[in-house]
């Protein structure tokens, strides 16, 4: 059966987590150590069947299913369609099926395949774009550029998939903070997703893997720097309807609103956070501070 831990977005807390794959087929992002302890593999359909049957027998009222692990869309479309078919058979009254998806996964699929997945019930993909600045993306070994991210996520949206994008506050450190905020706002605006969220960079003690990849001179942002960067991003990003959230456990200032409607309020809350946290070390306001 499945190795722990299992990772999921905060908004999937009530979902059945279905392990369609294990690990991440890329597994090179310098800031991410979620799957460094496991080899990427596609879960056989018989095992998926066993998980679904066990969940159905439990009597738990499943309304949402989240496909795990890090990039289930790296699996063949035929396999994913078979999984989606089985999910609908076991749980015909679902509200939503969702999954993590990288731009790379999406690029590897044709428009027709993406459309087939949407038609089969995959309703929402969570894409960690991390940054919209090419230099930050290069240094953290994301394997994407701003252009490749925009192209892939626009195709996903055109195929009928809703898209939730994630940006990592602080990923460029002090030197690249302004470029990171501006580039991320530009990429998110170009994608115009349904959901936008931010989380705060957190590294294991020492962060050696990250610092080695990033190169000389990574200086982490303090609380004031993180909030200033977040304010620059929120101030610049333009989306038609996107819901914005900073409700990941790494955030020390939870925010929620519709960007086009609530921008001024969000910026006021960020300014208030800046005033409150300006002189405090991160370790006092964020238990996950691990720099
Ligand atoms: S693609 Fe996602 S899961 Fe894979 S290494 Fe990068 S951040 Fe981690």
Integer Rg of the chain from CA: 19
**Those residues with Cβ within 8 angstroms of residue 215's Cβ, 6 or more apart along the chain or in another chain:** 139
Higher pLDDT, 129 or 10: 129
User: Would you say the C-alpha torsion 163, 164, 167, 168 has a positive or negative sign?
Assistant: negative
Is residue 289 scored above 60 in pLDDT? no
Ligand 1 pocket check: which of 24, 103, 164 to mutate, most ligand atoms within 8 Å of Cβ? 24
Half-sphere exposure of 82 (CA within 13 A, CB side): 14
Are the C-beta atoms of 79 and 63 separated by less than 8 Å? no
- Plot region of 256 (φ>0 → left; ψ -120 to 50 → alpha; else → beta): beta
Alpha-carbon gap, residue 183 to 145, rounded angstroms: 10
Q: For residue 1, what pLDDT is reported?
A: 47
- Confidence band of 3 (pLDDT split at 50, 70, 90): low
3-class SS of residue 132: coil
Residue ID of nearest Cα to ligand 1 atom 3: 70
pLDDT digits (tens, 9 = 90+) for 170-221: 999 999 999 999 999 999 999 999 999 999 998 877 788 888 888 877 899 9
Is residue 44 scored above 90 in pLDDT? yes
Instruction: Measure 29 CA to ligand 1 centroid, in angstroms.
Output: 6
94: Cβ below 6 Å to ligand 1? no
Q: For residue 240, what pLDDT is reported?
A: 95
Are the C-beta atoms of 107 and 73 separated by less than 8 Å? no
Is residue 55 scored above 90 in pLDDT? yes
Look up the pTM and report it: 0.93
Overall average pLDDT of the 160-176 stretch: 97
Residue 224 in tokens = 């004031």
**251-259 long-range Cβ contacts below 8 angstroms, 24+ apart:** 251/169, 251/198, 251/199, 251/200, 252/200, 252/223, 252/277, 252/282, 252/285, 252/286, 253/227, 253/277, 259/196, 259/234
pLDDT digits (tens, 9 = 90+) for 113-132: 999 999 999 999 999 999 99
Architecture of domain 10-280 in this structure: Alpha-Beta Barrel (3.20)
143: Cβ below 6 Å to ligand 1? no
Ligand 1 pocket check: which of 70, 103, 108 to mutate, most ligand atoms within 8 Å of Cβ? 70
The mean pLDDT of the chain is 92
Instruction: Measure 43 CA to ligand 1 centroid, in angstroms.
Output: 18
Indicate the domain borders of the chain. Answer: 10-280
Overall average pLDDT of the 251-265 stretch: 94
Are the C-beta atoms of 68 and 50 separated by less than 8 Å? no
Are the C-beta atoms of 148 and 131 separated by less than 8 Å? no
φ/ψ of 198, rounded to 5, equals: -125, 145
Instruction: Measure 200 CA to ligand 1 centroid, in angstroms.
Output: 15
Q: For residue 27, what pLDDT is reported?
A: 92
**Those residues with Cβ within 8 angstroms of residue 263's Cβ, 6 or more apart along the chain or in another chain:** 234, 235, 257
Q: For residue 10, what pLDDT is reported?
A: 85
Instruction: Measure 141 CA to ligand 1 centroid, in angstroms.
Output: 10
- Confidence band of 106 (pLDDT split at 50, 70, 90): very high
24: Cβ below 6 Å to ligand 1? yes
Residue ID of nearest Cα to ligand 1 atom 6: 29
Which residue is it, tokens 């002189």? 279
Q: For residue 290, what pLDDT is reported?
A: 44
Ligand 1 pocket check: which of 25, 35, 136 to mutate, most ligand atoms within 8 Å of Cβ? 35
Question: Which residues make beta-bridge pairs with 197?
Answer: 166, 245
Ligand 1 pocket check: which of 5, 7, 8, 26 to mutate, most ligand atoms within 8 Å of Cβ? 26
pLDDT digits (tens, 9 = 90+) for 194-205: 999 999 998 877
């Amino acid at each position: 059966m499945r190795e722990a831990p299992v990772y999921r977005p905060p908004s999937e807390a009530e979902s059945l987590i279905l392990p369609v794959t294990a690990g991440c087929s890329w597994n090179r992002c310098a800031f991410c150590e979620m799957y460094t302890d496991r080899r990427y593999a596609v879960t056989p359909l018989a095992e998926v069947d066993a998980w679904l049957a066990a969940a159905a027998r439990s009597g738990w009222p499943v309304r949402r299913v989240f496909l795990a692990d890090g990039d289930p869309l790296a699996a063949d479309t035929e396999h994913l369609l078979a999984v989606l078919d089985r999910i609908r058979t076991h749980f015909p009254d679902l509200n939503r099926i969702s999954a993590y998806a990288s731009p790379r996964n999406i690029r590897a699929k044709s428009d027709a395949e993406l459309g087939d997945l949407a038609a089969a019930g995959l309703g929402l993909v969570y894409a960690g774009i991390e940054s919209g600045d090419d230099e930050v993306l290069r240094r953290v070994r994301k394997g994407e550029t701003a252009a490749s991210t925009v192209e892939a996520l626009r195709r996903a949206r055109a195929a009928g998939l809703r898209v939730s994008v994630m940006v990592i506050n602080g990923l460029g450190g002090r030197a690249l903070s302004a470029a990171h905020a501006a580039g991320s706002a530009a990429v998110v605006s170009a994608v115009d997703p349904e959901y936008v969220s931010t989380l705060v960079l957190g590294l294991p003690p020492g962060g050696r893997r990250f610092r080695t990849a990033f190169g000389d001179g990574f200086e982490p942002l303090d609380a004031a720097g993180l909030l200033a960067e977040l304010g620059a991003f929120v101030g610049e990003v333009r989306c038609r309807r996107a819901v914005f959230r900073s409700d990941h456990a790494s955030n020390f200032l939870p925010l929620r609103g519709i960007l086009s409607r609530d921008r001024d309020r969000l910026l006021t809350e960020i300014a208030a956070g800046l005033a409150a946290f300006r002189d405090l070390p991160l370790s006092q306001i964020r238990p996950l501070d691990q720099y």
